Amino acid sequence: MMRKNYYINIFAALVLCASISSCEDVIDVEKETEISDQAIWSSVEAADAYITASYKIFTDDTQLKGCRNRFWDSFSDLTKSSSWDQYGHPYNSFLLQGLNTGDNGAGAFECWTSQYARIRTANLCLKSLRERGQKFGQEFVTLREAEIRLCRAYSYFMLARVYGGVLLRTESSGINGGLSDGKYPEDVTMARSSEADTYEYILNELKFAAENLPDKNSTSWPRGRATKAFAYGMISRVALFAQKWEIAAEAAEAVAKCPGVQLDNDFNNVVSEKSVSSPEILFAIEYIKGNTSLFHLWDNSVSPLGDSEINKGGAYAEHQPTAELADLYEWKDGTPFSWDNWSDGHPDPFSDREPRFQATILYNGAKWRDRNIECWADYKNDEGETISSADGFAEFRKTGSTGGKTCTGYFLRKFLQESNTKFVESLDKSITPDIVMRYAEILLNEAEAYTRMDLVANREKVKNCINAIRARVQLPELPITAFSDVESAMKIIRDERAKELVAEGFRFWDLRRWGLAESVIGGQMAHGVKIINDGAGNFTYEKISCDAGETRVYPARYKYFSIPLNERSNNPLCINNPGW
């Protein structure tokens, strides 16, 4: 049986909305007319279109499609926004001035209103499914309930990582056991659950999904919909935030036992448009070549300046790797990189680095689109003429942007479509899948869970998880002695997560849950390398700050951001987080 794609399901949901009087008629059960109710449940296909609209939650957290204002790594130490006030970027004003946050809400991280709208839609869908879906059989109802509850759990997870404990509104938490949708005053006033209870609820919802969803390689289940492997993977992710180490480890092992799950033999396959067919991908959002709505602007946003001519415009280098990231990547023989002795046996600081460096970062001299990247600083020749590199270097300033030039000495390569040189044209935008989860993360989750739970008893398991990821990129195994204590093991895990998962939306949230954001972000500067050309093709390298010489701001109160003022005004039982 041919397997349908996720985007087909979403499109069908939109068509269904258009075929009835309005999308609100479909979403709001209280407003449903008889004809809309009949349309929704008239066939399995129509019901499925309604139900799969719940998956739109995953578009709220995508890194490629959301790279303008919700690219989480540029709130961290790994990547740098090259803009102060262009492209809708909130990153530098947040990091350098503490703007975009306040007691009115979470600013750049605000998701309260949007996620409760998603949750309400899921609650309505779940209520309608249980009342109307029985005509299609219990198997249909159970499967679709698992999907809806997983999507709703993801919404609650997004809320919890920003605010801590939240309001647990469900299809039966309202007055008299009904829908908690704010129709009755008694439903509006609700106290926040504790953070621990919030995560407990999310984990229980995901457990139901994991127990009832089909396997990844099921031929009867459309590609792009949630599977058992993805649900267990979500349990492993959420359990780390909840500090439920045993649950995280068990869930990670459950993912490994799911049919069809394995690391891809080639790291390049999972950081390009090829990832759609990779066995490593547990869940991703797919896009369609030539479709005017199902695409994103990653190539347009992060390509280096030198691509402008090839691309007929559109190369803004909006997010750039920092030295904090680049310097983590080892030489390809596994020895640590160092600026102090890089020239010992190496032609330059970049070309002999491990494969993930090559696949993630565009550096001076890198081969790219039938040319070599040039990102050295301007210099004057003997005639006094200014000579500029093709991709350019510009110091970061608290005004405007670098205009596609690098302020860190590097550009992002990860997820760019090297063969797509027409992405500015209206029907040929970026289609690299947005990865929501892949198996490499699960191995890193497992390593962390076993380290936290009992490193002495599980040292071999931790070592094996890390070495599986390193072996994929031909790095030598780390010996058991490298995991001698919890801090040593966590240092390895943190570094491997940074190198492996950069640009996938983890670092900022990882630093927060590790309790390291205050020390790794706060009071620090991000750095880069300024490359100086002597005019004869010889280069020297100077470490520089790329934060305009200012240290970053990250106070203790950022552990939890402020609950929106409108929620607190309408709901006096909803108490704000400390410090706001």
pLDDT in tens, 67-88: 999 999 999 999 999 999 899 9
User: Tokens for 417?
Assistant: 């479509």
User: Tokens for 455?
Assistant: 């490193």
Is the distance from CB of 109 to CB of 561 less than 8 angstroms?
yes
Backbone angles phi, psi at 472, to 5 degrees: -60, -30
- Percent residues over pLDDT 90 in the chain: 79
- Indicate if the pLDDT at residue 194 is higher than 60: yes
Residue 281, Cα to own-chain centre: how many angstroms?
14
Residue whose entry in the numeric block shows the structure tokens 């849950």: 513
Give me the pLDDT at residue 218, please: 83
**Rounded Cα distance, 105 and 99, in Å:** 12
Please name the amino acid found at residue 539. Answer: F
- Indicate if the pLDDT at residue 223 is higher than 80: yes
- Higher local confidence (pLDDT), 309 or 460: 460
Q: Which three-class secondary structure state does DSSP give residue 398? A: coil
Give me the pLDDT at residue 428, please: 63
**Rounded Cα distance, 392 and 405, in Å:** 5
> Mean per-residue pLDDT for 393-403?
95
Over the range 526-563, which residues count as b (16 or more CB within 10 Å of their CB) and which as e? Answer: bbbbbbebeeeeeeebeebbbbeeeebbbeeebbbbbb
> Mean per-residue pLDDT for 543-551?
96
- Indicate if the pLDDT at residue 197 is higher than 50: yes
Give me the pLDDT at residue 342, please: 95
- Higher local confidence (pLDDT), 310 or 399: 399
Axis-axis angle for helices 245-257, 195-212 (nearest 10): 20
Helix (H) / strand (E) containing 361: strand 361-362
User: Tokens for 82?
Assistant: 């090259």
Query: How does pLDDT run across 25-58, given as a tens digit for each residue?
Result: 332 333 333 447 778 899 999 999 899 989 999 9
Q: What is the pLDDT confidence band of residue 185, given thresholds at 50, 70 and 90?
A: confident
Give me the pLDDT at residue 6, please: 36
**Rounded Cα distance, 406 and 529, in Å:** 10
Give me the pLDDT at residue 19, please: 33
Q: Which three-class secondary structure state does DSSP give residue 545? A: strand
User: What's this model's pTM, rounded to 2 decimal places?
Assistant: 0.93
Q: What is the pLDDT confidence band of residue 111, given thresholds at 50, 70 and 90?
A: very high
Instruction: Provide the phi-psi class of 422: left if phi over 0, else alpha when psi is between -120 and 50, else beta.
Output: alpha
Q: What is the pLDDT confidence band of residue 397, given thresholds at 50, 70 and 90?
A: very high
Is the distance from CB of 514 to CB of 494 less than 8 angstroms?
yes
Please name the amino acid found at residue 504. Answer: E
**Rounded Cα distance, 292 and 294, in Å:** 6
- Higher local confidence (pLDDT), 358 or 222: 358
Mean pLDDT rounded to a whole number for the chain: 91
User: Tokens for 121?
Assistant: 């839609």
Give me the pLDDT at residue 427, please: 58
Q: What is the pLDDT confidence band of residue 20, given thresholds at 50, 70 and 90?
A: very low
Query: How does pLDDT run across 149-182, given as a tens digit for each residue?
Result: 999 999 999 999 999 999 999 999 988 888 887 7
Give me the pLDDT at residue 419, please: 85
> Mean per-residue pLDDT for 539-566?
97
- Residue among 50, 228, 34 nearest 133 (CA): 50
- Indicate if the pLDDT at residue 289 is higher than 80: no
Is the distance from CB of 74 to CB of 66 less than 8 angstroms?
no
- Percent residues over pLDDT 70 in the chain: 93
- Indicate if the pLDDT at residue 421 is higher than 60: yes
Residue whose entry in the numeric block shows the structure tokens 């500090």: 243
CB atoms within 10 A of CB 214: 16
**Rounded Cα distance, 250 and 461, in Å:** 12
- Residue among 284, 276, 228, 275 nearest 256 (CA): 228
How distant, in Å, are the alpha carbons of 11, 147, 301, 365 from that of 360? 32, 33, 15, 15
- Residue among 450, 453, 434, 61 nearest 252 (CA): 450
**Rounded Cα distance, 258 and 442, in Å:** 12
Query: How does pLDDT run across 491-538, given as a tens digit for each residue?
Result: 999 999 999 999 999 999 999 999 999 999 999 999 999 999 999 989
User: Tokens for 533?
Assistant: 């050309």
User: Tokens for 528?
Assistant: 């880069």
Give me the pLDDT at residue 564, please: 97
Ranking 15-29, 91-105, 200-214, 510-524 by mean pLDDT, the lowest is: 15-29
Over the range 434-449, which residues count as b (16 or more CB within 10 Å of their CB) and which as e? Answer: bbbbbbbbbbbbbbbb
Q: What is the pLDDT confidence band of residue 425, given thresholds at 50, 70 and 90?
A: low
Pairing outcome for strands 371-372 and 367-368? antiparallel
- Residue among 82, 88, 83, 79 nearest 108 (CA): 88
How distant, in Å, are the alpha carbons of 38, 51, 167, 199 from that of 191? 37, 29, 6, 16
- Indicate if the pLDDT at residue 291 is higher than 80: no
- Higher local confidence (pLDDT), 200 or 8: 200
Give me the pLDDT at residue 366, please: 98
- Higher local confidence (pLDDT), 274 or 379: 379
Query: How does pLDDT run across 441-493, given as a tens digit for each residue?
Result: 999 999 999 999 999 999 999 999 999 999 999 999 999 999 999 999 999 99
**Rounded Cα distance, 517 and 521, in Å:** 5
Strand partners, 79: 321
Give me the pLDDT at residue 10, please: 40
Helix (H) / strand (E) containing 81: strand 79-81
- Indicate if the pLDDT at residue 22 is higher than 60: no
> Mean per-residue pLDDT for 378-400?
96
> Mean per-residue pLDDT for 553-571?
96
